[in-house]
C-alpha cells in the first residue's frame, strides 16, 4: 500500500448560505484547496464527492452537479454516502484510490446544502436517518435519538445537564475564533442551560446546526506529495465500523460500539494509542455525543466524559484538546462536508496554522465521524511525519 498525504485544504464559509447553491458552495472549497496546494484541476486524476442527502439537494445525482460546475470531466467522480459520516467515508474512498496506486492525485469534496428545505422538513429527513420503517412512526428525530442516549448516560453515570452545557460553552468559544464557523458567538453556561428544550433533556444549545457548506482536500501519493507540499500531513490510520440500524437493538445506549471498533482499528493501523493524540475533532452533533466520544475513543474511562469537560481537559491547553475549531456544535454540520472539514482542521493543527486555536507542537491528530445514530463510524489518524 502506498502512503497517502493531504497536500491541499480548502474550507468554504459554513452557515445559512442562502446566497449560494450546492454547486457554487463546492466551487469555493475546491478553488481554495487547489490554491492551497498550488495545483491545477487538470493535474488531478480523480475525484470523490461526499453528499449525504438527495432529499436536501432535491436531485438524484447531486455529485454530477459538482463535477459539471467545477469542470472536472471526463475523469472519474465517485459519490459516497454515510449520513453524517459521509465526509470521512469520502476521504477514506480517496485514500483507497491513492493507496491502491489507481491514482496519484485525488480531490475529495464534501458538501451539503441543507437550508433550501424548511427546518421541519430537514428535521424529518434527518429523523429518517434512524429506521424509517420501525422507529419513525414514534415521531423520532435526530435530537430525539441522542436525547435517549443522554437520558441513559445520565441514569447510568450521573452525567449532568450542566456538563453537557459545558461542551457547548467550549465549542462556541472556539467557534467564535474560527472565521469559517456558522455561529461565531460565545454562549454562557446559563444561556445554554435556559435555552428551550428540543428533545428532553437536550436544549437548543446542546444541538448542532443545520448548515450549508463545503470543504475539500487534495490527497497525493508519497512521490507526488513531496513535489507539491513542504508540509504534507500523512494519513496514518483508518478505521470504519458499522452497527445495527435500530437503537433498540444496540448492545449499549451509553456508548457507540461502531466508534469503539473504528477507533481500535485506526489506533492499531497507526501504531498509537489515545494518550498519543495531541488534538482531535469528534462528532459532537449533540453535546452528549462529544461526552460519549471522549469515552469511546479512550480519552477517559467509561462514564468519566462529563468530568473530563468539567475539568476543561479538552480545551487547547488541556490533556486532549477536542473540537477546538468549534465542532459541529458551533462550526455547523453540513452533513457531507463535516468529515472533510474535520480533516482540514487537523491538517491546519499539524501544519501549525491554526492561529489562536493552535495546539502547541501538535504532531498526531484524530478525526471521529459518526453516521446516523451510530450505524456507521469512521476514525482517522493523521501524522506530521
Q: What are the catalytic residues?
A: 84, 333
Question: Would you give the binding string for other proteins spanning residues 149-168, x where CB under 8 A is met?
Answer: x-xx--xx------------
**Binding residue for other proteins (CB under 8 A) from 160, 188, 248, 268?**
248
295 vs 345, which CB is nearer to other proteins? Answer: 295
148 binds other proteins (CB under 8 A): yes
**Binding residue for other proteins (CB under 8 A) from 3, 176, 191, 246?**
246
336 binds other proteins (CB under 8 A): no
Give 368's DSSP letter: E
CB of 152 to other proteins, least distance (A): 4
* Inter-residue contact 50 to 111 (CB < 8 Å): yes
CA distance 37 to 42: 13
143 binds other proteins (CB under 8 A): yes
CA distance 237 to 44: 24
CB of 245 to other proteins, least distance (A): 10
Burial letters 122-140, b for 16+ CB under 10 A, else e? bbebbbbbbbeeebeeeeb
136 binds other proteins (CB under 8 A): yes
* Inter-residue contact 63 to 351 (CB < 8 Å): no
**Binding residue for other proteins (CB under 8 A) from 18, 120, 230, 356?**
120
230 binds other proteins (CB under 8 A): no
Strand partners, 218: 8, 107
Helical residues (DSSP H) of 272-353, grouped into ranges: 287-296, 305-310, 327-331, 335-351
Q: Phi and psi at residue 361, in whole multiples of 5°? A: 55, 35
88 vs 141, which CB is nearer to other proteins? Answer: 141
25 binds other proteins (CB under 8 A): no
Chain centroid to Cα 347, Å, comes to 13
Q: Phi and psi at residue 49, in whole multiples of 5°? A: -120, 125
58 binds other proteins (CB under 8 A): no
124 binds other proteins (CB under 8 A): yes
Question: Would you give the binding string for other proteins spanning residues 182-221, x where CB under 8 A is met?
Answer: --------------xxxxxx--------------------
- Three-state DSSP state, 48: strand
69 vs 136, which CB is nearer to other proteins? Answer: 136
Site size toward other proteins, by CB under 8 A: 36
**Binding residue for other proteins (CB under 8 A) from 61, 123, 184, 195?**
123
Burial-class residue 385 by CB neighbours within 10 Å (0-12, 13-18, 19+). Answer: exposed
* Inter-residue contact 335 to 114 (CB < 8 Å): yes
CA distance 163 to 224: 46
Q: Which helix (H) or strand (E) holds 217?
A: strand 213-221
Q: Mark the segment that binds other proteins (CB under 8 A) among 140-148, 167-175, 232-240, 281-289.
A: 140-148
Residue with cell 462556541: 172
36 binds other proteins (CB under 8 A): no
CB of 130 to other proteins, least distance (A): 10
372 binds other proteins (CB under 8 A): no
Interface positions with other proteins (CB under 8 A)? 118, 120-121, 123-124, 127, 132-141, 143-144, 147-149, 151-152, 155-156, 196-201, 246-249, 253
Amino acid at each position: 500500500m502506498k502512503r497517502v498525504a493531504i497536500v491541499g485544504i480548502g474550507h468554504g464559509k459554513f452557515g445559512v448560505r442562502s446566497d449560494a447553491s450546492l454547486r457554487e458552495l463546492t466551487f469555493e472549497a475546491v478553488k481554495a484547496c487547489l490554491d492551497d496546494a498550488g495545483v491545477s484541476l487538470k493535474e488531478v486524476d480523480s475525484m470523490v464527492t461526499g453528499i449525504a442527502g438527495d432529499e436536501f439537494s432535491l436531485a438524484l445525482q447531486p455529485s454530477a452537479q459538482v463535477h459539471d460546475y467545477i469542470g472536472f470531466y471526463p475523469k472519474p467522480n465517485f459519490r459516497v454516502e454515510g449520513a453524517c459520516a459521509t465526509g470521512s467515508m469520502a476521504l477514506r474512498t480517496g485514500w483507497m484510490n491513492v493507496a491502491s496506486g489507481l491514482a496519484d492525485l485525488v480531490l475529495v469534496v464534501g458538501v451539503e446544502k441543507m437550508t433550501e428545505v424548511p427546518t421541519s422538513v430537514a428535521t424529518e429527513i434527518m429523523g429518517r436517518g434512524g429506521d424509517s420503517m420501525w422507529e419513525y412512526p414514534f415521531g423520532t428525530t435526530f435530537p430525539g435519538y441522542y436525547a435517549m442516549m443522554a437520558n441513559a448516560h445520565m441514569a447510568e453515570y450521573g452525567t449532568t445537564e450542566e456538563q453537557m452545557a459545558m461542551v457547548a460553552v467550549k465549542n462556541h468559544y472556539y467557534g467564535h475564533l474560527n472565521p469559517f464557523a456558522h455561529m461565531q458567538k460565545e454562549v454562557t453556561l446559563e444561556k445554554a442551560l435556559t435555552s428551550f428544550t428540543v428533545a428532553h433533556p437536550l436544549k437548543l444549545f446542546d444541538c448542532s446546526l443545520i448548515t450549508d457548506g463545503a470543504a475539500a482536500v487534495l490527497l497525493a501519493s508519497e512521490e507526488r506529495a513531496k513535489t507539491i507540499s513542504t508540509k504534507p500531513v500523512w494519513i496514518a490510520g483508518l478505521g470504519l465500523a458499522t452497527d445495527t440500524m435500530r437503537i433498540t437493538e444496540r448492545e449499549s445506549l451509553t456508548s457507540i460500539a461502531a466508534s469503539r471498533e473504528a477507533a481500535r482499528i485506526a489506533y492499531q493501523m497507526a501504531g498509537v494509542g489515545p494518550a498519543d493524540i495531541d488534538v482531535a475533532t469528534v462528532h459532537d452533533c449533540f453535546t452528549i455525543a462529544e461526552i460519549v466520544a471522549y469515552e469511546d475513543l479512550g480519552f477517559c474511562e467509561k462514564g468519566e466524559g462529563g468530568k473530563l469537560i468539567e475539568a476543561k481537559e479538552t480545551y487547547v491547553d488541556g490533556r486532549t484538546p477536542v473540537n477546538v475549531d468549534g465542532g459541529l456544535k458551533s462550526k455547523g454540520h453540513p452533513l457531507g462536508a463535516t468529515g472533510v472539514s474535520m480533516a482540514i482542521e487537523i491538517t491546519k493543527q499539524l501544519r501549525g496554522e491554526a492561529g489562536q486555536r493552535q495546539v502547541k507542537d501538535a504532531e498526531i491528530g484524530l478525526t471521529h465521524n459518526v453516521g446516523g445514530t451510530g450505524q456507521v463510524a469512521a476514525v482517522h489518524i493523521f501524522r506530521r511525519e
